[in-house]
Amino acid sequence: AEATRMMFAHAKVEYEDVRLNGEQFAELKAANKFEFGQVPALETDDGKVLSQSASIARFVARAYGYYPEDVVDQWYHDSTVDALEDLAMSGTGIHFSQTEEA
């Protein structure tokens, strides 16, 4: 969600940054407030709740002029973000491994 926060800050967009504790998250999840039962989530001014970090970042990038108009340039930006996500996720198995061998 940090990329979204940075875009909001750069665009000087006022927003409410809500950090949930475990109990608050469980309550909202049980009430089906989050698509896929996950955070981060972004609630728009008209009450829609958006989910998935990269999708939210792309939404905000489009809404505030950080996204290119050319579809090939859009693909390039999307593929770069996706590659960085893949790279970041490749290390989670080591970090969250339950054995000392990892």
Q: Where are the domains of the chain?
A: 2-67, 69-102
Arithmetic mean of pLDDT, 4-8? 93
Is residue 60's pLDDT more than 80? yes
Angle formed at CA 39 by CA 34 and CA 43, multiple of 5 degrees: 60
The rounded mean pLDDT for the chain is 88
| pLDDT average, residue stretch 52-62 | 92
- The H or E element that residue 50 is part of is strand 49-51
Token digits of residue 29: 């999840």
2-67 belongs to which CATH class? alpha beta
Sign of CA dihedral 72, 73, 78, 82: positive
